């Protein structure tokens, strides 16, 4: 922003502030002018009209500035022909497997195997727990009230992670715990 020949303030707009024409959004310019110039009762509408006129003038000047190649130079230019051998691309035959990369099926198999191993371990723990009564269990002779069980509640048999229909505590396909 200039006042006569002296510079009052300047601001460089970021790329995300630019519109499709390559100029900053005019509302941002008006806001900057109002913040920079401390004139009471300044008219924002007049600033917007001035900004629009300056932007329009800058766009037309930029379009006029584009250089057009002289006709004499354009006629002399000839395209070179590319040899056909360079146009043809090599064709890969068969299927190439990159080393170190696992397929989706192999990854699923690994997950299933890990899940099965976890299930075997948990079953073994349960079996050991059932065979050896824990010392923390207290036996009483009086009857304690039982917690009522919900009846008619259907549990989901779908894994929310991979969408497979199963009735397990853990999804055998992806190995993640099921919410039911």
pLDDT in tens, 135-176: 666 677 778 778 777 665 555 566 666 666 665 667 677 777
Q: Is 144 domain-assigned?
A: no
Q: Which residues pair with 177 in a beta bridge?
A: 170
Q: Is 51 domain-assigned?
A: yes
Concatenated DSSP letters for 109-172?
Answer: HHHHHHHHHHHHHHHHHHHHHHHS--TT----SSPPPPPPPP-SPPPP-B-TTT--B--SSB-T
User: How many domains is the chain partitioned into structurally?
Assistant: 1
pLDDT in tens, 46-100: 989 998 898 889 888 887 777 666 666 666 667 777 777 777 666 667 766 666 6
Q: Is 89 domain-assigned?
A: no
Q: Which residue in this structure is represented by tokens 């329009």? A: 56
Q: Which domain covers residue 13, as residue numbers?
A: 2-65
Tokens matching residue 99: 């080393």
Q: Is 94 domain-assigned?
A: no
pLDDT in tens, 9-57: 888 878 777 777 777 888 888 888 888 887 888 888 998 999 889 888 9
Q: Is 84 domain-assigned?
A: no
- Predicted TM-score (pTM) of this structure: 0.35
Q: Is 61 domain-assigned?
A: yes
Reported confidence tier of residue 4, pLDDT bands at 50, 70, 90: confident
């Amino acid at each position: 922003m200039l006042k006569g020949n002296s510079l009052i303030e300047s601001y460089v707009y970021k790329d995300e502030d630019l519109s499709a024409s390559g100029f900053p959004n005019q509302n941002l310019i008006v806001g900057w002018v109002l913040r920079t110039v401390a004139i009471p009762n300044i008219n924002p509408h007049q600033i917007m009209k001035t900004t629009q006129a300056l932007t329009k003038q800058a766009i037309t000047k930029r379009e006029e500035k584009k250089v057009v190649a002289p006709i004499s130079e354009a006629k002399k230019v000839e395209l070179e022909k590319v040899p056909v051998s360079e146009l043809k691309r090599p064709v890969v035959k068969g299927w190439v497997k990159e080393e170190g990369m696992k397929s989706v099926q192999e990854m699923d198999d690994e997950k299933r195997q890990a899940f099965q191993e976890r299930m075997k371990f948990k079953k073994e723990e349960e079996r050991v727990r059932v065979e050896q009564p824990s010392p923390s269990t207290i036996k009483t002779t009086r009857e304690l009230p039982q917690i009522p069980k919900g009846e008619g509640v259907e549990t989901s048999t779908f894994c929310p992670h991979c969408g497979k229909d199963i009735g397990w505590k853990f999804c055998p396909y992806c190995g993640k715990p099921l919410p039911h």
